[in-house]
C-alpha cells in the first residue's frame, strides 16, 4: 500500500474517493481511510448511498 501511496503523491494526487460499497466489503476500510487521510483529502460515499453507523 505504501508504494501505491507514494506513486499517488508523486503524481500530485490531492484527493481520493472511497466508495460505500468498499466499506461494506473491506474490513480494513477504517484503517485505509485513516492512512489515506494523512496525505490526501478523502471523499467517502462517492458511489452509492451512504452507510450510517
What is the rounded average pLDDT for all residues in the chain? Answer: 85
CA 9 – CA 50 distance, rounded (Å)? 27
CA 47 – CA 12 distance, rounded (Å)? 23
Give pLDDT tens digits for 29-39.
Answer: 999 999 999 99
Q: What is the pLDDT of residue 14?
A: 95
- pLDDT greater than 70 at residue 48: no
| Window from 14-23, 27-36, 41-50 with minimum mean pLDDT | 41-50
Amino acid at each position: 500500500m505504501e508504494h501505491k501511496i507514494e506513486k499517488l503523491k508523486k503524481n500530485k494526487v490531492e484527493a481520493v474517493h472511497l466508495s460505500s460499497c468498499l466499506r461494506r466489503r473491506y474490513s480494513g476500510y477504517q484503517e485505509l481511510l485513516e492512512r489515506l487521510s494523512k496525505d490526501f483529502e478523502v471523499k467517502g460515499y462517492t458511489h452509492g448511498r451512504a452507510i450510517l453507523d
